[in-house]
A and B are shown apart, each in its own frame.
Chain A
């Protein structure tokens, strides 16, 4: 059987394109990337009366004209350029309630000259808003079939399927352009057409002419387009220069003609009966109110935060319980030894380290999907734009930044709500600096053990340090955004141009799909990295199994006559401690010591930091292992606290002091101590470049700040 034909599904943002995609295809969507770029390509099979087709969801855009490689994806996908399969048909989704906004894009797609069907979505909403549409007149004027649908209700989907089959079976000749370029622009298009034809193989004359116009409006001396033939680029620049010199405004010629046509035609298809104040207006009177709006916004954010922090806990507990059961299951079946330990700690533990993030990712995406589908996310950007823009962040960066206080991993994934790559990357690079909940047990242990209980202005120094660390992380994140946004991710200042869509009722199905998809993509794409890191960290602490200290202990223990069960347990912990101290990780700790000494730490902390790479809170249990107390210690463990207080340097002074604890916490606040965050960043940026940059800058910053604080403190006579 031949492969099913490709059908591209394109449209402006907020037209319900994804809902229509889901309605057409059922649930078996596949997710990959567009060739050569990390823009997600979602495609799935759909059934039509004429047989199956593969529907590909083209990223939403208001125009095909592009400035960046990301924006270029739309035109490449529609024309089958740059390694994309060429669609046999394009379905353009429009919002019936805002046709005049979406028609510009539809005209551009029709001009490409391949078969097009317009799917006018949200017919139900249009009816209730008193908008009457004459789709037949619209179809006659545009020269392409028009189908009215309500994707959420499933209305008109079968008619759309039938139309897809019909057009695929007997494609009509493309309609002529609705507008006629002036003589000068027509000369430009004719001159550029041969060079434009080089962008793809076997392009139709219509496609070539449309591409020539696309090139004329998209290319300039500083664009970031890819796969543009050098000849075409040179010719476009020459044409633009000549046009400027002739006093022509090419951009206006290309854009206004379409709008002139739309404005002239629209009246014949649309009847609007005047409606009383819309729901959206009424809701916005409250939700964008200077006082009530912000109060409600903060309230919603508190709920999201509460969900990530508290509601996720029972779910995470379940995951951990399941992993624990799996571990004991393995131990019951596999004979004790290296292999059993590998299976329980590295394999099952590694799977656990991946799955443990799923509850928070799923919960966060429930809220994000709700906020996006209702239209509230745009309001967040509207409310927060000015504040976030101060440090160069997008208004929508607020939600990921806030989520990062719970955990950076779902927060990194949440950056997806921003369209521009630079906005996403900048947010990703700084959000691990905010204090995530995994740092809390480490802070708790160090503060409880080492910060004096002094009371300052009625507040204990311990709480002040904790609050201080939260503030410190937040301020550093904002400063880092300002710096990175002006240096590494320096891009042109991109103006905000955003629609505030009408509020819509979200659909449980669409939210559920998004949540399931995001969770699955995390497991699929970040899982392997986390799994391998877990196994490596396990091996570092596990090997070698014996060393001189272990052997000496074993001899000493063997000399004890008939040890009690209690003694046996203590012996086992002692030996475990000795083994860990002599492990590869222990040796790495010793190697790291010269770098740790300047901020008052020793090799034992080094091993803890290494272990904490699996997850920050593992620092606590690794310290427990090193000190021969077993891995079951927690931040409240009295023996561990006592041990930290009583450790001595060779010269008899305390090993860990309030100052060294502060320096260590500052290090932990800033260092990129989390393989899972790195895995998530790798997943979202599609390579190692950005995770490596993040790790390097954060760790360097952490070290410099920790050393600075420690050395300054020593000069001032503390520690």
Chain B
């Protein structure tokens, strides 16, 4: 990840971003990618669960929920408004 990339769990709410890297343990990384978290895909952090975790993310026209811990393995780059 280069300097302007941040992990998905630190994306500010409603900020559009594009995925630039997916890391992590093999099976889960594969699952993330098959779920649509591939480099180049656009994501927006919609909100977090009222208790802080998991996240509610918009990806490919659908809402997906994943925990912060795993979201940290997805690197994103902010997009302009």
Contact = CB atoms under 8 A, between A and B. Distances in A.
Interface in B30-53: 30-36, 38-41, 47, 49-53
Nearest to A220: B26
Nearest to B34: A63
A104 B30 CA distance: 13
A110 B9 CA distance: 35
B64 A67 contact: no
If over half of A's interface residues share one DSSP class (helix, strand or loop), that class is named, otherwise mixed; here it is: helix
A66 to B, nearest CB: 10
Nearest to B73: A495
Contacts of B1: none
B34 A255 contact: yes
B34 to A, nearest CB: 4
Contact of B64 (A63, A217, A497): A497
Interface stretch (A146-154, A380-388, A426-434): A380-388
Contacts of B52: 386
Contacts of A499: 62-65
A251 B50 CA distance: 34
A387 B30 CA distance: 27
A100 interface: yes
Contacts of B28: 495, 497
Contacts of B10: none
Interface in A212-233: 217, 220, 223
A459 interface: no
Nearest to A61: B34
Contacts of A269: none
A70 B30 CA distance: 17
If over half of B's interface residues share one DSSP class (helix, strand or loop), that class is named, otherwise mixed; here it is: mixed
Interface residues of A, number: 38
Contacts, number: 111
A62 B34 contact: yes
Given A67-B27, A495-B67, A385 B54 contact: yes
A289 B50 contact: yes
Nearest to B37: A497
A293 interface: yes
Among A263, A497, A500: residue with most chain B CB under 10 A: A497
A383 B27 contact: no
A259 interface: yes
A289 B48 CA distance: 10
B36 A383 contact: no
Interface string B6-21: 0000000000000000
Interface of A: 62-63, 65, 67, 97-98, 100-101, 104, 217, 220, 223, 251-252, 255-256, 259-260, 263, 288-290, 293-294, 378, 381-383, 385-387, 495-501
27 contacts: A62-B31, A62-B34, A63-B34, A65-B30, A67-B27, A220-B27, A223-B27, A251-B33, A252-B39, A256-B33, A256-B40, A288-B47, A288-B50, A289-B50, A294-B50, A382-B54, A382-B65, A385-B49, A385-B53, A495-B66, A495-B70, A496-B54, A496-B65, A496-B67, A497-B35, A500-B63, A501-B62
Interface of B: 22, 26-36, 38-41, 47, 49-54, 56, 60-67, 69-70
